[in-house]
């Protein structure tokens, strides 16, 4: 078997907020995207809603290269947005914006999405982070997809940035998934025996006209329809850039670890979607606070303990791929909390200090504006 490239590509989606009201800019001027494209080319693109903007790194050989590109892309989008009285926030939901006040982007593919999905699409006021890892062999992608699914809740828990929806504390650390799961063909990926098996299933949906191609499959993890990569889609977009880079590094190194097992005729145990879905819910609801089920032990284990196990499991791969520090940064996330923790703390402190509800939510937006750029020198 040819050694996989293990290249990395990261996509992040941001929300554009008005610097005066802190609400979303539902119809930003066309010049914003024109200028972003002039400076960044194909590394910036429209998203479904006009208040969103997406960036994507090039194909990177290392996590460090990807981190540098993410910083540059965040900073450039912020500079352009600032010229128009706006700012990007890296959060998977806006603290108080209303989805029914938004306008979708006037491109053909979004017309089709809006027509086919109706209110489900109109509610998609959410942003995520997607991480591509280069696995050039199609059957290897399918094999590792089945094995790494077990770890998806672990990665979601570290990323949470969407506790609010329409001005309310949802009680979920990642409300984004609740909204996105209304879409068809979402959630955990199915298990397939081979690339041919996967392709046969896709072909059935294409043949009957349910989808145009595999890009309309929006699972938490999927073989990319555009690149020879395995694309992880479950995380919230991280407000702090280094948190997202840490999650990308963990994902990369888990895949590398599973590949090393395969070379030694070993593999990770595959659990049913029913069991993994339970951990997915726990990560969505509690983030890193209440632990996940360790199905081997048959008990709920504190997330910090699970992270230490992941660090040990991936250490050899992290050394080989040069991302030990990025993986160890996950300990910092555990110590200080995710974006959701910070948003909830700022809101509760503002309310305790006598702020009205809306003013407290505005302070959360101010925090998100600042933190989106805190590590983009």
Close Cβ partners of 309 (under 8 Å, ≥ 6 residues apart): none
| Pairing of β 221-223 and β 229-232 | antiparallel
What DSSP letter does each residue of 99-116 carry, written as one string? GGG--B--SHHHHHHHHH
In this prediction, residue 1 has a pLDDT band, given cuts at 50, 70 and 90, of low
What per-residue confidence (pLDDT) applies to 377?
A: 43
Residue 376 has pLDDT above 70, yes or no: no
- Looking at 3.40.50.300, 2.60.40.420, 3.30.590.20, 3.30.420.40, the CATH number of the domain 8-372 comes to 3.30.590.20
Beta-bridge partners for 230: 133, 223
- pLDDT, one tens digit per residue, over 199-256 is 999 999 999 999 999 999 999 999 999 999 999 999 999 999 999 999 999 999 999 9
Mean confidence (pLDDT) of the chain: 95
* Buried-state track 199-230, b at ≥16 Cβ within 10 A, e below 16: beebeebeeeeebeebebbebbbbbbeeebbb
Query: Is residue 168 within a helix (H) or strand (E), and if so which, with residue range?
Result: strand 168-169
The rounded distance, in Å, linking the Cα atoms of 201 and 196 is 9
The rounded distance, in Å, linking the Cα atoms of 30 and 22 is 20
Q: Which residue has the higher pLDDT, 123 or 355?
A: 355
By the 8 A CB rule, do 134 and 4 touch? yes
Give the sign of the dihedral formed by CA 23, CA 55, CA 83, CA 376.
positive
**And the tokens for 88?**
């990007």
Close Cβ partners of 300 (under 8 Å, ≥ 6 residues apart): 290, 291, 292, 293, 294
The rounded distance, in Å, linking the Cα atoms of 53 and 73 is 11
Domains in the chain: boundaries: 8-372
Close Cβ partners of 72 (under 8 Å, ≥ 6 residues apart): 376
Q: Report the pLDDT averaged over residues 330-334.
A: 98
Residue 70 has pLDDT above 60, yes or no: yes
Residue 183 has pLDDT above 70, yes or no: yes
Give me the count of residues in the chain. 377
């Amino acid at each position: 078997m040819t050694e996989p490239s293990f290249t990395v590509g990261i996509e992040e989606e941001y929300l554009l907020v008005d610097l005066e009201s802190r609400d979303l800019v539902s119809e930003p001027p066309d010049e914003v995207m024109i200028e972003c494209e002039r400076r960044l080319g194909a590394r910036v693109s429209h998203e479904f809603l006009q208040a969103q903007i997406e960036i994507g790194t090039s194909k990177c050989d290392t996590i460090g290269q990807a981190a540098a590109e993410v910083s540059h892309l965040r900073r450039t989008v912020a500079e352009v947005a600032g010229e128009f009285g706006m700012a990007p926030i890296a959060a998977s939901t806006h603290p108080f914006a209303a989805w029914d006040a938004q306008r979708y982007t006037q491109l053909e593919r979004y017309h089709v999405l809006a027509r086919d999905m109706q209110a489900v699409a109109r509610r998609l006021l959410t942003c995520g982070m997607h991480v591509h890892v280069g696995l050039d062999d199609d059957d290897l992608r399918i094999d590792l997809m089945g094995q790494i699914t077990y770890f998806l809740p672990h990665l979601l828990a570290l990323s949470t940035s969407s506790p609010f929806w329409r001005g309310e504390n949802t009680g979920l650390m990642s409300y984004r998934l609740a909204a996105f799961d209304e879409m068809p063909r979402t959630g955990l990926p199915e298990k397939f025996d081979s690339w041919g098996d996967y392709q046969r299933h896709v072909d059935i949906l294409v043949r009957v006209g349910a989808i145009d191609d595999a890009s309309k499959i929006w699972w938490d993890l999927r073989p990319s329809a555009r690149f020879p990569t395995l694309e992880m889609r479950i995380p919230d977009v991280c407000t702090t850039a280094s948190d997202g880079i840490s999650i990308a590094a963990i994902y990369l190194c888990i895949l590398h670890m599973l590949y090393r097992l395969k070379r030694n005729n070993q593999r990770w145990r595959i659990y049913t979607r029913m069991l993994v879905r339970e951990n997915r819910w726990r990560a969505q609801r509690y983030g890193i606070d209440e632990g996940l089920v360790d199905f081997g032990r048959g008990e709920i284990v504190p997330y910090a303990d699970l992270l230490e196990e992941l660090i040990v499991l991936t250490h050899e791969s992290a050394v080989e791929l040069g991302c030990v520090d990025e993986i160890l940064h996950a300990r910092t996330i555990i110590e200080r909390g995710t974006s959701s923790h910070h948003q909830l703390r700022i809101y509760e402190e503002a309310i305790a200090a006598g702020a009205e509800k809306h003013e407290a939510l505005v302070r959360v937006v101010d925090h998100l504006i600042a933190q989106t750029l805190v590590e983009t020198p």
